[in-house]
Amino acid sequence: MNNYSIDSDSVKFLEKYLNEFSPTGDEREGQKTWINHISSYVEKIQTDLYGTAVGIINPNSPYKLIIEAHVDEISWYVNYITEDGIIYVSRNGGSDHQIAPSKRVIIHTEKGFVHGVFGWPAIHTRKLSEEKSPSVDNIFIDIGVSNKTEAINLGVHVGCIITYPDQFFIMNHNYFVSRSLDNKIGGFIIAEVVKMLIENSINLKFGLYIVNSVQEEVGLKGAKMISQTIQPNMAIVTDVTHDTYSPMINKKIQGEIKCGLGPVIGYAPSIHKNIRELIINTANSKKIHFQRLVSSISTGTDTDAFAYSNKGVLSALISIPLKYMHTTVEMVHKKDVEQAVLLIFETLQAINNNNQFFID
C-alpha cells in the first residue's frame, strides 16, 4: 500500500481554498483557487455555464470515470431592509438560523465588502417566560447605519449574498476546523488523489474527470448539469456526513460514525452494489479503516444526481465524518482525510486493473 500524509504545501492549499468565499450561485473565488491548484496535474480543464470545474486526464478515452466533490458553501441573501437600516435575511442553502446571533458577517456588494453582525436582544431585556428562539423571521443584521438610505449608499440591496468571515485553523494537531469544510474538504481530497496519481506515474486506461460541482446545497444542481455534459460511465462522489458521537445526536436514527475511525462507505439505492463492494474490497485488501452508513431512500449528495442521470451511472459515495455541519466551526479529522485520499487512489488502481469495466 502507498503511504500518504498531508504535507505542508497541501495544508497551505487547503487553507487558501477554505478561506475563499464560494457561496452557492457565486462560487468563482473558491473555484479559481481549486482550478489553479489542479491545473498542473491534468491535461485539460473545462468549466460549464454555471461554474462547475472539471480537470481531465485522458480526455479521448471512451470510458469516463468521475471523482467528484462540490465547491459551494451555504450563505444568506439580503431579503428585506427596514427603514432603520436593519437587514432581514433569506437562506441560500441550508443555513442554520440557530447559530446566527452574535456572528460577524460580510455582505458582498458591487462596491466591495460591507461588514455587519447578526444582532440579538441582550439577556437583560428579555423575559425568561417569553424567550424566543432564533428563526429566519427574527434574526437580523446590523451594519452600523441609521437608516435604509445609508445602507443602500453602501451598496447593500435585496439579493446581496451574505457570508461568514470565519477562517481555517488546526485544532490539537488533528482536526481541521473551518466553515465550508462541507464540502471543500472533498475538493481537497480529489485534488490530492490526482496529485498522487501523477507522482506515482499511474497510467490510467480510462478518462478521469475530476469534478468540482456548483450548487449542491440547493438540490444537486451542478452535478445534474455536468453529468449530462460528460456522460460518465462511473462516478465516485465525496462529501461529508455527521459524526454521531457529538452530543445530542441519536445513533439509532443517524447511525454510528466517529471522527478518526476512517472514511464512510455509503449504502443507499443510488449507490451501486458492484462499485461499493469494489471499494470495500480495496479498503480491506489495503488495510484502510472505514465505516459504514445507511442513507435509506436518498443520500442527499451528488451521488443521487449522477446515479439517476442519463441512462444510469455506476455511482458510489465515500464520506468524511464531520462535526457541527453547517456551522462556522465544522471539524474533520486529519487521519480520515488521509485515509479517504488513499482509498480513492487505491480504488482507481483496482478499477484500472479490472478489465470488466472496459468491455464495450
Edge-to-edge strand order for the sheet containing 330-333?
Answer: 169-171, 175-178, 330-333
Check: CB of residue 93 under 8 Å from CB of residue 217. Answer: yes
CA 282/CA 85 separation, integer angstroms: 58
Q: Which three cell numbers, joined as nine digits, stand for 173?
A: 494537531
Residues ≥6 apart with Cβ < 8 Å to 248 = none
Phi, psi for residue 334 in degrees, rounded to 5: -55, -40
The set of cell numbers assigned to 20 is 475563499
Q: What is the CA radius of gyration of the chain?
A: 21
The Cα 169–Cα 251 span in angstroms is 28
Q: Are the C-beta atoms of 239 and 319 separated by less than 8 Å?
A: yes
Alpha carbon separation from 192 to 51, 110, 269 (Å, rounded): 21, 35, 29
Residues identified as active-site: 216
8 A C-beta contact, residue 33 and residue 15: no
> Cβ-count burial of 32 within 10 angstroms (0-12 exposed, 13-18 middle, 19+ buried)?
middle
CA distance to 45, 52, 110, 152, per residue, from 155 (Å): 35, 28, 6, 5
Contacts of 184 by beta carbon, 8 Å cutoff, 6+ apart: 14, 17, 18, 22, 30, 69, 71, 73, 178
